Structure 1
Amino acid sequence: MLQILRHSKHVLPHIARLCLISTFLEDGIRMWFQWNEQRDYIEATWGCGYFLASLFVFINLVGQVGGCVMILSRQKVQWACGLLSAIIALQTIAYSILWDINFLMRNLALAGGLLLLLAESKAEGRSLFAGVPTMGDNNPKTYMQLAGRILLILMFLTLIRFGAGYVQAFQNIVGLCLIILIAVGYKTKLSALVLVIQLTLLNFYLNDWWNIPDYKPMRDFLKYDFFQTMSVIGGLLLVVALGPGGVSVDERKKQW
C-alpha cells in the first residue's frame, strides 16, 4: 500500500480535487435542470417571493460551477474555497439543515474538505524571524489541516448504525478506530487511505442512484448523498497526499 502511495503521489492531489468538488458540480448542474422546482421550494418555504427565490437558485448555480472551475484550473483557489464555503452556509440555512444532525455533520465534513484544499493551496507562512525556518506547528496551514481532518471524519459518524448485526458492529469498530487515528494524526496517511476504501465501497453499495428510475424522488436523494460522500473521499485523499500537518502525532514522532 505504501508503494501505491509513492507511485501515485503526483496524480493523487488531482484525483482528490476532482472528487472533492464533485458534489458542488453536481448540485450546480442540478440547479440548472431543476430551476423551477428549486425556486418554487424556496419561495414556498420562506415566502420570499419569486425574485429572491430565483436569485437563490442563480447564486447556487453560478457560485458552485464557477468555484469548481476555479479549483480545477488552479486559479484563485482561496477565493473559490471561500465561495463554496459560503454556499454550504447558505444551503444549511435555506434547506433547514441546521436542525438535521446528519445533514449538518455532512456539510461540516464538506467544509473540512475545503479547509484541506485551502491548506494545499496556501503558500508556506513566512518565518517568524528573518533567516530562521518556521516550525511546522507555527504555520497557520497546519491548523487548517488539523481542523480539516477533524471535520472530515464527521461524515463517517453519520454512517454508524447500532443494532444491525455483527457485520455492522465490526464496520463501526473499524471505522471508529480509523477516525480516531486520523483525528490525532497517527499513521494518518495509511488510516485515511483505508477509510477511503471503506467509504468508497459503502458509497457504491448504499447510494446506487443509477439503479433508481428517474421519476422516483429517492434517485435525487441517493445521488446527492453519493456525491457528498465522494467529496469527503476527496478530502481524505488530500490527507493521504499532504499528510496530517504539524499538529499531529506523526509530526511529533519526527522530532523525537
Structure 2
Amino acid sequence: MSFKMLTSTQRTLDDAEELVEYYYRRIKVFIPTIAKICLLSTFIEDSLRMYIYFSAQYYFFARRFYGWFSTFYIVFNLIVQMGAVLLILIKKKRLFAISSLFVVIFLQCIMYSPLYSWRFFGKSAALCGCLILLLVDARVTTSNKDEFAGLPDMGFDKPKSLMLLVGRIMTIFIFFTLLHSNMSYFKWFLTTINFALILSVAAGISAKLSAFILVLILSIENVSMNNFWSVPEWMSDYVRYDFFLTLSVIGGLLFIVSHGAGANRIT
C-alpha cells in the first residue's frame, strides 16, 4: 500500500512539474530578465540608499573609521554595485561583475559588524546563494566561453550542477531569518509550508515545481507583509530591506525554475 501511495505521489508530482514546464516554455523568454532584475534589486536599492542618505551613512561609519575612509567606502560601494548591475544587465564581464558583488557583501559584513547577528549572516548567505545561481545562468547563457575560463571544468555539466547545489542550499538561510517568537499561528503555518518547499528545492526533489510555488507564495507574502510604503517611518528601512532581499530570493528561485536542480539531487 505504501509503495502504491509513493508511486501515486511521484506520478502526481511529475504531472505537476510537466504542467509548470508547459507554461514555463510559453514565457521562458522573459524569465531570465525578470529573475535578474529581481535578484539585483537589493543592490540597486542599497546603492540608491547610499546616495540618498549619504550623510546618515557617513556619520554611522565615521564613529568607527576615519572620515576619509567612510567617504571612500560609501562612494566605492555605490559605484561598484551600480556598475556591476549594469554589466550584468548588458551581459558584459559578468564573472567580474558578480565577483564584485561578492566583495560588496563581504565588506558589508565587516562595515556593519555592530549590527551583525545570525539574522544578518543568514541574509548575507542567502544573497550569496542567489549570486551563485546568477553565476550559473551567466555561465550557461554566455556566448564568450573565455569569460568563464577561471571556473573549474570537471567534465560535462558538473560545475553547473555543483554551483546549483551550493546556491540552493545557501538560499535556505533566508527562511531562518524570517522566524520570530511572536509570530501568529497563521504566519507559523505559512513559514512551515515555505520551509518544506525550500528544503525540497535544496534537496532537488521536484525542484522546479517547488521553486515555482515558492515564487508565487513569496511574491504575495512580500507585498502584503513587507509593505514598507505603508509602515511608520522608523520601521521603513528594516521592512524595505526585507522586501528587496525577498525579491532577490525570488529572482534566485526563478533561475532554479529556469535551469532545474542539476545532477546533484535526490531522486
Equivalent-residue separation in structure 1 for 2:183 and 2:172 (angstroms): 21
Alpha-carbon spacing, 1:30–1:126, altered in 2? closer, same or farther (3 Å): closer
Corresponding residue of 1:175 = 194
The answer to whether structure 1 residue 79 and structure 2 residue 105 are counterparts is: no
Q: 5+ residue gaps in structure 1?
A: 129-133
2:39 and 2:130 in contact (8 A); partners too: yes
Equivalent-residue separation in structure 1 for 2:114 and 2:133 (angstroms): 23
TM-score (norm 2): 0.83
Q: CA deviation at 1:126?
A: 9.3
Q: 2:120 aligns with which of 88, 103, 125?
A: 103
SS in 2 for 1:244: coil
Q: 5+ residue gaps in structure 2?
A: 1-18, 146-150
Alpha-carbon spacing, 1:127–1:27, altered in 2? closer, same or farther (3 Å): closer
CA RMSD of aligned residues (A): 2.1
Q: CA deviation at 1:97?
A: 6.9
Corresponding residue of 2:76 = 59
The answer to whether structure 1 residue 88 and structure 2 residue 105 are counterparts is: yes
SS in 1 for 2:264: coil
* Worse-superposed segment, 117-126 or 67-76: 117-126
2:153 and 2:159 in contact (8 A); partners too: no
The answer to whether structure 1 residue 69 and structure 2 residue 86 are counterparts is: yes
Q: 1:41 aligns with which of 38, 52, 60?
A: 60
Equivalent-residue separation in structure 2 for 1:76 and 1:217 (angstroms): 39
Q: 1:231 aligns with which of 235, 244, 248?
A: 248
Q: 2:132 aligns with which of 115, 119, 133?
A: 115
TM-score (norm 1): 0.86
Equivalent-residue separation in structure 2 for 1:127 and 1:159 (angstroms): 37
The answer to whether structure 1 residue 11 and structure 2 residue 19 are counterparts is: no
SS in 1 for 2:261: coil
Corresponding residue of 1:205 = 224
Corresponding residue of 2:213 = 194
What is the number of residues matched between the two proteins? 239
Q: 2:177 aligns with which of 153, 158, 171?
A: 158
Equivalent-residue separation in structure 2 for 1:27 and 1:221 (angstroms): 12
2:125 and 2:171 in contact (8 A); partners too: yes
2:194 and 2:214 in contact (8 A); partners too: yes
AA of the residue aligned to 2:201: I
Equivalent-residue separation in structure 1 for 2:114 and 2:196 (angstroms): 28
